[in-house]
Structure 1
Amino acid sequence: MRTEVPLTTRRLQQIEHILKQRQHIRVTELSEQLGVSEPTIRRDLKKLEAIGRVHREHGGASAPTSTTTEPPILQRVTENIEEKRRIGRLAASLIQDGETIFLGSGTTTLEVAHHLHDKKNLTVITNALNIAHQLAGNENITLIITGGVIRHSELSMIGHIVEQTLRELRADKAIISMRAVSLQDGLTNVDPLETNTDRVIIQCARQVILVADHHKFDKVATGVVAPITSVHTIVTDDQTPPTTIQHLRDLDIEVYQA
Structure 2
Amino acid sequence: MKFESMSQRHAYILERLESEGNVRVADLFDALDVSAVTIRKDLKILEDKKLLFRTHGNISRVNPYSKDRSVLEKENILADQKFRIGKRAAEMIEPDDAIIIGSGTTVLYLAKAIPSDLKLTVLTSAMNISMALLDKANVEIVQLGGVVRKTSTSVTGNYAESILDNFTCSKLFLGVDGIDLEQGCTTSNMMEALLNKAMIRTAQKTIILTDSSKFGRRGFGKICPLNDIDQIITDNGVSNTMVRELENQGIEVIIV
**Could you say which TM-score interval applies, normalised by the shorter chain?**
0.7 to 0.9
Of 192, 195, 199, which aligns to 1:194?
A: 192
SS for the counterpart of 1:66 is coil
Cα distance 1:239–1:66, how it changes in 2: closer, same or farther (>3 A)? closer
Contact in 2 for aligned 1:88/1:113 (Cα 8 Å): yes
Paired with 1:144 and 1:218, the residues of 2 have a C-alpha distance of 33
Q: What TM-score does the superposition give when structure 2 sets the normalisation length? A: 0.79
Of 104, 107, 114, which aligns to 1:106?
A: 104
Contact in 2 for aligned 1:171/1:204 (Cα 8 Å): yes
Hey, what does 1:83 align to over in structure 2? Answer: 81
Bigger mean CA deviation after superposition, 233-242 or 219-228: 219-228
Hey, what does 2:254 align to over in structure 1? Answer: 256
Contact in 1 for aligned 2:161/2:198 (Cα 8 Å): yes
Q: Which runs of 5+ in 1 are unaligned?
A: 1-17, 32-36, 56-60
The reply on whether 1:232 has 2:230 as its aligned counterpart is: yes
The number of aligned residues is 226
- Matched-pair identity in %: 26
Query: What per-residue deviation string (whole Å, max 9, x for no partner) do you get for residues 205-246 of structure 1?
Result: 000000010000001121211101111010000111111111
Contact in 2 for aligned 1:67/1:219 (Cα 8 Å): yes
SS for the counterpart of 1:108 is helix
**Structure 1: 4+ residue segments shifted above 6 A:** none
Query: What per-residue deviation string (whole Å, max 9, x for no partner) do you get for residues 40-93 of structure 1?
Result: 449x78xx9xx95232xxxxx547833241221111111100000000000111
Hey, what does 1:38 align to over in structure 2? Answer: 33
Paired with 1:257 and 1:68, the residues of 2 have a C-alpha distance of 23
Q: CA RMSD of the aligned region, Å?
A: 3.0
Larger gyration radius, structure 1 or structure 2:
1
Hey, what does 2:57 align to over in structure 1? Answer: 54
Hey, what does 2:49 align to over in structure 1? Answer: none
Q: How does 1:1-258 map to 2 (within 5 A)?
A: 24=17, 38=33, 40-41=35-36, 52-55=55-58, 62=60, 65-118=63-116, 120-258=118-256
Q: Which runs of 5+ in 2 are unaligned?
A: 1-9, 44-53
Deviation at 1:97, TM superposition (A): 1.1
Q: What TM-score does the superposition give when structure 1 sets the normalisation length? A: 0.79
Contact in 1 for aligned 2:187/2:193 (Cα 8 Å): yes
SS for the counterpart of 1:199 is helix
Paired with 2:17 and 2:134, the residues of 1 have a C-alpha distance of 47
